[in-house]
């Protein structure tokens, strides 16, 4: 199949995605992007290729070939089982990649079911040293929750910092919230003004000074 530059850009956009997914799920999970420009060398990107023994330039699989032939309009695939070249059992799923109605590639995930349970479980143990930081993400279900959580986190950080003079704490809170994108949230100015008992004008004035 001949792919356009737009097709290739779409496929390329998945490369960073599978790289990050591999970091998240560990070495027992393989992530593959197949390009349909060449079925004989369809693997254009792969993470944890040791799971299946493949690398960039490896051919399309028999099942993937069948998906291309028979399931061009099928968005949702069910998980299935496969066998690696070493005879290890894998649980897999394949997701078609489209450019509008044109099937251009496949995103495949293969989990090694023969890896030690303890090894797989260790991936999901909480470890605040993963990136050398204890920062965390808050998964709120409303904008109000997001505003409240971010405000409380920054305020606590500033108030506990004895190096910041008391008269400058509100200003520092405003600056730090701005650096975190707080003011992109609708209603953030009004909420902060009410919380700090200052006027919205004061917040705008401090933001202008900072920028």
Tell me which of 196 and 134 has the higher pLDDT: 196
Q: Which of 149, 194, 196, 148 is nearest to 172 (CA)?
A: 196
Give domain 5-122's CATH architecture.
2-Layer Sandwich (3.30)
Residue with tokens 């707080």: 182
Query: What does the block give as tokens for 161?
Result: 């910092």
* Average of per-residue pLDDT across 14-21: 95
Q: What percent of the chain has pLDDT over 90?
A: 55
Alpha helix (H) ranges present in the chain? 5-12, 15-25, 62-70, 117-122, 143-159, 169-179, 188-196, 200-210
Residue 61 has pLDDT above 60, yes or no: yes
Domain limits, the chain? 5-122, 143-210
- Rounded to the nearest integer, the mean pLDDT of the chain is 86
Query: Which residues make beta-bridge pairs with 32?
Result: 46, 108
pTM of the model: 0.70
Question: In this predicted structure, what is the pLDDT of residue 83?
Answer: 84
Residue 70 has pLDDT above 80, yes or no: no
Q: How confident is the model at residue 116 (pLDDT cuts 50, 70, 90)?
A: confident
Residue with tokens 């356009």: 4
Q: Which of 22, 26, 18 is nearest to 45 (CA)?
A: 18
Angle between helices 188-196 and 143-159 (to 10 degrees): 40
* Average of per-residue pLDDT across 108-126: 78
Question: In this predicted structure, what is the pLDDT of residue 126?
Answer: 62
* Average of per-residue pLDDT across 89-94: 91
Residue 119 has pLDDT above 80, yes or no: no
Residues 63 and 69: their CA atoms lie apart, in Å, by 10
* Average of per-residue pLDDT across 151-171: 93
Tell me which of 133 and 86 has the higher pLDDT: 86
């Amino acid at each position: 199949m001949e792919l356009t530059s737009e097709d290739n850009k779409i496929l390329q956009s998945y490369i960073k995605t599978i790289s990050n997914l591999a970091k998240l799920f560990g070495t027992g999970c393989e992530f593959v992007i197949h390009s349909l420009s060449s079925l004989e060398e369809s693997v254009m990107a792969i993470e944890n290729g040791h799971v299946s023994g493949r690398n960039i330039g490896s051919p399309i699989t028999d099942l993937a070939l069948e998906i291309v032939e028979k399931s061009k309009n099928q968005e949702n695939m069910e998980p299935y089982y496969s066998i690696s070249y070493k005879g290890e059992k894998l649980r897999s799923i394949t997701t078609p990649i489209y450019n509008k109605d044109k099937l251009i590639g496949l995103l495949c995930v293969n989990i090694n079911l023969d890896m030690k349970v303890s090894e797989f479980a260790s991936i999901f143990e909480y470890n605040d040293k993963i990136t050398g930081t204890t920062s965390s993400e808050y998964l709120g279900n409303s904008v109000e929750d997001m505003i409240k959580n971010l405000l409380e986190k920054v305020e606590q950080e500033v108030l506990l910092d004895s190096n910041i003079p008391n008269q400058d704490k509100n200003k520092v809170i405003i600056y730090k919230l701005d650096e975190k994108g707080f003011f992109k949230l609708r209603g953030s100015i009004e909420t902060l003004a009410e919380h700090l008992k200052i006027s919205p004008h004061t917040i705008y004035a401090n933001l202008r000074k900072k920028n």
